[in-house]
Amino acid sequence: MSDPQTMSPGAVNPSRQPGLVLACVCACTILVVGLVAAINLAVPKLAASGLHPSSSELLWIVDAYVVVFAGLVIPSGAAGERFGRKGVLIAGLVTFAVGAAISAASGNVAWLLLGRAITGVGAAMVLPNCVGVLIHETLPERRSRALAIWGAMTGMGGLVGNIAGAVLLTAGSWRTLFAAIVPIALLCAFLTALVVRRSSRSPRKLDPAGTVLLIAATIALLIGIIEGPENGWSSFIVIAAFVASIVLGAVWVVVELRIRHPLLDPRLFRIPLLSTVSLGMLVMFFGSFGLFYLNASLLQYGRGYSVLQAGFAIVPMTVPMLLGARFVPDLVRRFGIPLTLSAAFLAIGIGLFGLASAVYQPYFAYAAWLVLIGLGFALALPCLTAEFTSALPAEQAGVAGGLQSATRELGSALGVAVVGTVLTESFTRHLPASLQHVDPIPRTVAEGIATAPAQRAAIIDAFTAGAISALQVASVVTLIAGVLIVAAAFQARRRERSSTTMGSAAPD
């Protein structure tokens, strides 16, 4: 057996039980990805709970996890290389369990937000090191299949999170959801300790300054978006948050350009293909998680579904992702990535708009639009993943993987924040006249019903109208951004072909 301390960084140390290693990292991945989806089902229960969260606090309860997840996923991958992937993965799972325990026991919103943030730290330590462990312990000839299976599990995580979350929330309160996570995360940590081998370590240094600045800039941006409806868009806190986000972002760029081992080198975004696919990944998850945030509440309030029904109602969207993913490579070879991406963003954008029009239609029509959105995701995700890989040389595969995860989680956070903000703005505008002059104006269904129980139907109609507006905004943003992304992809491909032609025509 090779000694991990004497192995060169990045060396392969294949496991004698590769199937168990694959099963272990897939279980860990489903756990951290599934929680992103499961929490959306709990929003109505949280809104009506004894915590009495405001509309902005509800958004932060959802977003605290993904913001920390997004900000730490790249440095956590670097930490795995520096201190050992197995150790960081186990530490991440234990941290995940601690955050879930704090969330389950929280007596107020502040403690719940702390628990969510700690869980996000654990998730960021888990996800990139799952990939590192899999690559390290899988023989090169088996690696592509193992990574394909792991990639499919990242997609399945949302489905498992919806169904498992629905079952747990049906069995108990929102606390049950978090409490159940604790033993599962600890079991995953125990299995990791048993089946995963120690890996080599890299002398790569960490970048704490870049990490703090990136997270602070992201949080400041989300504060501006989320607090706008409640405090007013011209209020000091909102304007200060947007200004702080710009300043912190600029300082982050300066710091990253000057240090030897940056968290993420801003110069990489000079590569047209990389900046294009980064924006594409962000926009795709903006639309998907904006939808996930709305969908569970819309089904429970608007259609009167139980939590369990709402959890299973999202299943049609996963059908194209499960059945159609294997056909995407052939489509890309035949039509090219720009055309495939065009179809993907068109399907997502039209699907979101169609979903808004089907709110009052039978579930069959609603499900049909979910299938169209799922088709767009099935087309876009493999294309964007492949482009991330090809945009950077093989020795920077870790950077590409970390950037892909970071843009995905950042897009998720922005989707929840923007769509949730539009929902709140529209909901308050559509409330009955008698509630328009209440101080403070109700900003959630639970607040509205508590204020005027006799107007429950009108309050739910206001929520439905707000959800329709939010879906339409998400649709328009996705379509406009999709046009820009596809145009940039065409341009990047044209430049790539031009440079290749010039290189081949150069004299020896």
> Over the stretch 335-389, which tens digit does the pLDDT of each residue have?
877 788 888 899 999 999 999 999 889 999 999 999 999 898 888 877 777 777 6
Q: Rounded to whole angstroms, how far apart are CA atoms 127 and 75? A: 12
> Whole-angstrom distance between the N-terminal and C-terminal Cα of the chain?
47
- Whether the per-residue pLDDT at 495 is higher than 90: the answer is no
Q: Report pLDDT for 37.
A: 82
- Mean pLDDT, to the nearest integer, of 242-268? 87
Peptide bond connecting 440 to the previous residue in cis, omega within 30 degrees of 0: yes
- C-alpha 263/C-alpha 257 separation (Å) is 10
**DSSP state for residue 359 in the 8-state scheme:** T
Residue 263 pLDDT > 90: no
pLDDT over threshold 80, residue 444: yes
- How much is the pLDDT for 13? 54
Q: Which of 237-241, 265-269, 285-289, 488-492 has the lowest mean pLDDT?
A: 488-492
Above 90 in pLDDT, residue 266?
A: no
Dump pLDDT digits (tens) for 85-111: 889 999 999 999 999 999 999 999 999
Closest Cα partner for 424 from 103, 69, 166, 60?
60
Mapping DSSP onto H, E and C, the string for 93-128 reads HHHHHHHHHHHHHCCCHHHHHHHHHHHHHHHHHHHH
Between helix 272-302 and helix 456-505 the angle, nearest 10°, is 160
Lowest mean pLDDT across 62-66, 163-167, 422-426, 438-442? 438-442
**Amino acid 353: pLDDT:** 93
- The whole-number pLDDT of residue 8 equals 45
Element (H, E) at 480: helix 456-505
- Tell me, what's the pLDDT at 4? 47
* Lowest mean pLDDT, pick from 56-60, 203-207, 254-258: 203-207
**DSSP character for 442?**
P
Helix residue spans in 303-452 (DSSP H): 307-313, 315-323, 328-335, 337-357, 363-391, 397-430, 433-436, 445-451
> pLDDT by residue (tens digit) across 446-491?
888 888 888 999 999 999 999 999 999 999 999 998 888 888 777 7
| pLDDT of 370 | 93
Q: Is the model's pLDDT at 285 over the cut of 70? A: yes
Confidence (pLDDT) at 240: 93
Cα–Cα separations (whole angstroms), residue 310 to 302, 359, 451: 11, 14, 26
When pLDDT is cut at 50, 70 and 90, the band that residue 3 belongs to is very low
Note the pTM of the prediction, 2 decimals: 0.80
On average, the pLDDT of the chain sits at: 83
- Answer yes or no: is pLDDT of 432 > 60: yes
* pLDDT at site 331: 80
